[in-house]
Amino acid sequence: MTATTSVDALYRSESRRVLATLIRLLGDFDLAEEALHDAFFVAVQRWPLDGVPANPRAWLVSTGRFKAIDRLRRQARFTPLLQEQADTLEAADWSDQDVEDDRLRLIFTCCHPALAADAQAALTLREICDLTTEEIARAFLATPATIAQRIVRAKGKIREAKIPYQVPSREALPERLDAVLRVIYLVFNEGYSASIGADLTREELTREAIRLGRLLMELLPEPEVMGLLALMLLHESRCPARTSAEGELVLLAEQDRSLWDASLIAEGCALVERALGTRRFGPYCLQAAIAAVHAEAARADETDWPQIVGLYDVLLRAVPSPVIELNRAVALAMRDGPLAGLQQVEGILARGELLDYHWVHSARGEFCRQLGRVEEARAAYAKALSLTQQGPERRFLEQRLQNL
């Protein structure tokens, strides 16, 4: 592997860790981001000549720190207070051997209750997972400009309110947990079903979300943490079967279940049992239980659809949501037939909900197709196609239209 290739690989695997540590050391998001890019720029120049250092992450953190101090000193000619900030940073204790993994610290900062909920998620996806504003906008069904404003406001709030860059005390953790779980799940979802691009999945995001889930599990083994980790593991277990050798989307009912990862299924199901056994479970545990029912069926036609519908009923009472209602409609169609599912989907659309969500139109198209209502199916699939920019999903919908 060449030095240049090493830099590229390290940026993909380590840049968010380096950024998290730089934020801790520098105390400023924007300064840390500039320092991160400066450090990798220097690495591109020097590593081909000097070789890759023994501890690349420590080298990048150290280089970024010094570049930030230099940047502050240059700017101090116009803003004298920056000289004092640079002197303070230079005097702070720092060792190249003292490189912590600060990402859990960063996620709790990004999810601080002083920030608006939508800003928490946007900031975490941007800073921890390196999603672009366009990718985050797709996940939130918002415009890139709106997302950019949320991120800027969130950084400003952290700076002005002097929000501490730390993992909360154990006493304060439960009240902070919901936002953190929601953000981790958003990260996983973006990786499991990428909102845009040529590939269905982004493995680096699902791995990162699962890693964060495991870290959180070590820190706070609460039932909902177990539930979220189980849910992610059970979904991840299907990844080898979700696309064909050509990269095309394969629906759950058509997947080769022998390709599912048995070790992830076993781990996920054990976590579900442990969480449900506490009788203090919530929405993530219920979703994980649904995923476990799917995982326990050796063949698609052995799926216990009545149990899944029952679990969705409980989930809907706990968390009323049109997306959950859509998922229940699909399960209902498997139990009671496509007309039952279609009626539920049309009820969602009649309320004006999920109008820009391509999966609701895809589900309507599928139900209409099964009922022989070809023109309605064609219109629904065409609407779904107009709402997605994801390559395999587009090809799947185009194939459905062609078959009609």
- How many domains does the structure of the chain reveal? 2
Q: Which of 48, 69, 91 is the last residue of a domain?
A: 91
* Beta-strand pair 389-390/196-197: parallel
Q: Within a domain: residue 40? A: yes
Sign of the torsion formed by the C-alpha atoms of 317, 323, 327 and 330: positive
Q: Is residue 145 part of a domain?
A: no
The CATH number linked to 404 is 1.25.40.10
Q: Residues 330-363: pLDDT tens digits?
A: 999 999 999 999 999 999 999 999 999 999 999 9
Does 211 fall in a domain?
A: no
Query: Is residue 54 included in any domain, yes or no?
Result: yes
Q: For 10-55, how does the pLDDT look when each residue is reduced to its tens digit (9 = 90+)?
A: 888 889 889 999 898 888 899 999 999 999 999 999 998 888 888 8
CATH classification at residue 76: 1.10.1740
In this structure, is residue 279 part of a structural domain? no
Weakest mean pLDDT among 168-172, 213-217, 259-263, 316-320? 168-172
Write down which residue in 45, 72, 91 finishes a domain: 91
Distance of alpha carbon 100 from alpha carbon 59, whole angstroms: 13
* Predicted TM-score (pTM) above 0.95: no
292 domain residue, yes or no: no
- Cα end-to-end span (Å), the chain: 49
Residue 207 lies in a domain: no
When mean pLDDT is compared across 110-119, 190-199, 240-249, 252-261, the lowest value belongs to 190-199
- Domain boundary, last residue among 91, 106, 136: 91
Asked if the structure places residue 34 within a domain, the reply is yes
**Residue 8 domain boundaries:** 3-91
pLDDT digits (tens, 9 = 90+) for 84-125: 666 666 666 655 555 567 888 888 899 898 998 889 988 988
The pLDDT value recorded for residue 152 is: 95
Q: Are 238 and 248 in contact (CB under 8 A)?
A: no
